Every structure is written in structure tokens, then in C-alpha cells.
Structure 1
């Protein structure tokens, strides 16, 4: 685990407790911009928690369809003082603003599938294989995620996500942005050449359509969350063949899509 001092800062706050005002020191999650340059071309600026940045950059570029694997990255140099990362890589799309901001509607398998970004329509994929989990594994994986989420316990201001395989925690990542946390996991998967079909993700945030699309890009077919899904997220998860399990709290949960992967 990285040193928490890199992504936390101390600040004096005025706190109201039990009818009294108290001035005390509190720990705050850091939020910093990181400008991503690829082959000397500025591509995007991400606002993120400054930890596990190599994983995040790798996952982000793969999620956007710019690279296909971590082997496409030849060099990644960070300039922390300027908030810039320079990446030398073999790229598979033109590096223009339209690559990543153009809104389109795509379709697949005869169903209407709505994407906000052009890169989503190109990189989202239907999950063909995913693990089966028991009810106890769903509960235990979420408990593990929450127990090791020390930054959230300290600040209450970040999202947490973790990858599991056969009930074993492989990696956990934290960020102020839920997409960044998932990109950090994606980067970890790529850099360690893990089989996505063997993995499940536990996630602290709500299950939005964007989160479901991110899981499909990662090739992971089981998503566990302590929060609720949206209706569009459920529709997309059903279309993309992703199992979504929400409201994992106090020994209970709801299975919203592809329930055959949760053993009964």
C-alpha cells in the first residue's frame, strides 16, 4: 500500500460536536489535475487522487481505446511539479478531441445501446465468460473492500474499488473519482496480465451506466456494490451480460442482472 501522506493533507477545521464548537485538525483527500500527453500530443487532463498513477494512466488509455495492452506503452514519465505525464506509446486511434468527446449512438446484437462517447461504442464489449460467486463471497468481498478502505475512513471523500479472484483480494484502488478508481484497477489488470474472465469487482459507489460501461471495457462480468443501480445501468448490464449486485449491506443484497452467476 502506498504512503497515505502522498494523497492526504492536514487542515484545521471548525467542528460542531454534542452542542460544542471545537477547532481541530482533520485529514483531507488531495485532488490534483494530471495532464496526459501522448507522443508529444496533449490528450486529456484528469483530476484525480495522486496515487497509483501508472495504473490509472494505463487503464484510462486502454478504456479510451488508445492502447490495446500495457505493452503498447514504451515509456511513462511523470513531472509531479507541473502535473504532467508524458507517455510514449503505440497508439491505435487518432489523437484528436473528437476521439473522446463526440457523442454517438451505437447498437449491438439487435438491441439499442446508448453511448455518450465515441470511444465507448468502440471499446465496450459483451462479456462472454465470468466467475460464479456464492452469497457469502458477495458479502465477504464487500466487507474486505470496506475494511481496507483506510482513506475513506479517514476522509469520507473518496471512492474505493477492488479486484477479487476466487475470493482473494488482488488489488484495491482509491480515488476521488469513481472512474479513476476503476481505471487504476484496469491498469493493474493489464500490467499484471490477469484474465478478466476470472475476476470480479467490488465497488463503493452507485452503479451508474458509465460504471457498467467501464466494467465491460475491462472485460469483467461481475460487479458488487454497496449502493443502488440506475435503470439505464440495469438495461446496459443486461445487454452487456454483466451481473450487477447492489445494496450489499448488513448481510443482504439485491441481484439486478444475470443472477445465474450468483450460486443459490
Structure 2
């Protein structure tokens, strides 16, 4: 069984003093995905919840839509391979194998046009109180145990008004969302009145991935990009950034927030 972290020897320098100690480091694990006996992609991830990660990734790529689209799945953790057989033949637009890194941006080898075609306008219009959002973010950060140990992972959660329901972490911010989506697909969990809580920056890629998950509420402690805000507006997704302490910035579709006229929120 792969570990999530490793203890690595190091030399610590602090206030002019040298200490020989060790540090807890997030593990980086390459996983090659084989679909119908063909190599589809190799991704770098945190080696936990690999089945959920693969399901979520394949759904995000448009290879599957439901868990029943998968005929069989076997993950060889020792060799770092996931073998998937689907009921329908996969029509690949390119025979090139892809390496999907743990960082963000074009290293994931995504093509924006293809992703945008799969994005769907979210129709769920449930409402939540601003203070509930801030309380959820507080609970989210309190449960960031691996990040507190390593400082090297992202975290994503599914929550409702009542609290956090699912939470996953990974060295890749896309992977953390794929694990969420994979778990929901695998267990046929309803998307109704659910929100995503996220540790990372809200980029256009992240926004599109949330839209593919058919979720209309994204709450992050980090900043958005301008294109992500434009997409959130078009796709009917409430995008909230800088949710920290008693503050948050609401960028799109504030109609999902139950804000009274007397409520004071710092939107700057």
C-alpha cells in the first residue's frame, strides 16, 4: 500500500542554528491509465483513493458518464497501472500518450476548446447564508491534516448547508476534484443542493471542471482569474474567492446568497 507522505532527512537552518532532523513530505506517485488495452494517460497524484481518481478523471475527459459505463477496473498499485475496460469503444482524437503533471496550466495537456464543449450551464439554484459559507470554509481548513503536515497538497470537498460531506486531498488540484467527482459517480450521489469547497486558485480550468461536475457553487480561499469569472457568469456558477475568517468576495451569481440589506460583507 502506497503512503501519502514520507519522512525525508534534512538540515534545518533557523536563526543561525543548524539542526539535523527530518521533514514529512507529500508523496508523488505516477499512475498510468490503460483504457481498453491502450495507454491513455499517465498522471502524477497522491496515492490514495485511486479508483475514485480514475473514475473522476475519465468522466472529466468525456470517456464515461456513469459508473455503469465501466465494464471492469483493476488497479495495480505496485506497478502504478490502472486497467479500465469500457462498454463502448473509446474514440480517441489523438494517439499520443499524455503525461499529466501535478502542477496547473497546460502541463495537464488539456485543450480548452474540448473542455468548453463539455461544460454545461448549471440549473441548481439552491440558496445558502453567507455565514454558513464562512463556517464551512473554517471546518474545511480544520480538516486539512495532510496539508498541515506537508504544506504540499490541495484539498477539495463537497458540502451542503448542513456541513462537509466528502473531502479529498492530492498534490494536484485537478486530481482532488476528480477524486470528489469519481466518488460521487461511483456511489451515485445526488448533485442537488451541493457546493464545492476548494483550497486552490479558481482558474478557467477549475471552473470548467466544476461545471462538468454539474455543481453550481464554488467556494475557495484563493483568488479567481478573469476568464474563470466570465465562465462562471456564463455557466450560472456562483464563484466565491478569498473566503477567510469573516470575509469573502462574491464574484458571480450572488442570488444564491441569502444576503440581507443589513448584512455587511467585505467584497473588496
Give TM-score, length-normalised by structure 2.
Answer: 0.87
Q: Secondary structure at the match of 1:228?
A: coil
Q: Does 1:184 align with 2:149?
A: no
What is the 5 A alignment of 1:145-156? 145-156=140-151
Are the counterparts in 2 of residues 41 and 95 from structure 1 also a CA contact under 8 Å?
Answer: no
Are the counterparts in 2 of residues 131 and 222 from structure 1 also a CA contact under 8 Å?
Answer: no
Moved over 3 A (4+): 98-101, 115-119
- Structure 1 residues 181-224: Cα deviation after superposition (integer angstroms, max 9, x where no partner): 00000001111212223210100001101000000000000000
Q: Which residue of 2 aligns with 1:105?
A: none
Structure 1 unmatched runs, 5+: 102-114
What is the 5 A alignment of 1:93-132? 93-97=90-94, 116-132=111-127
Q: Which residue of 2 aligns with 1:228?
A: 223
> RMSD over aligned Cα, in angstroms?
1.9
CA separation in 1, counterparts of 2:80 and 2:201?
29
Q: Which residue of 2 aligns with 1:77?
A: 74
Are the counterparts in 1 of residues 51 and 75 from structure 2 also a CA contact under 8 Å?
Answer: no
Alpha-carbon spacing, 1:75–1:189, altered in 2? closer, same or farther (3 Å): same
Structure 2 unmatched runs, 5+: 99-109, 260-268
Are the counterparts in 2 of residues 209 and 230 from structure 1 also a CA contact under 8 Å?
Answer: yes
Are the counterparts in 1 of residues 39 and 97 from structure 2 also a CA contact under 8 Å?
Answer: no
CA separation in 2, counterparts of 1:150 and 1:215?
24
Give TM-score, length-normalised by structure 1.
Answer: 0.89
What is the 5 A alignment of 1:1-264? 6-91=3-88, 93-97=90-94, 116-264=111-259
Paired positions, count: 248
CA separation in 2, counterparts of 1:222 and 1:21?
47
CA separation in 1, counterparts of 2:245 and 2:96?
43
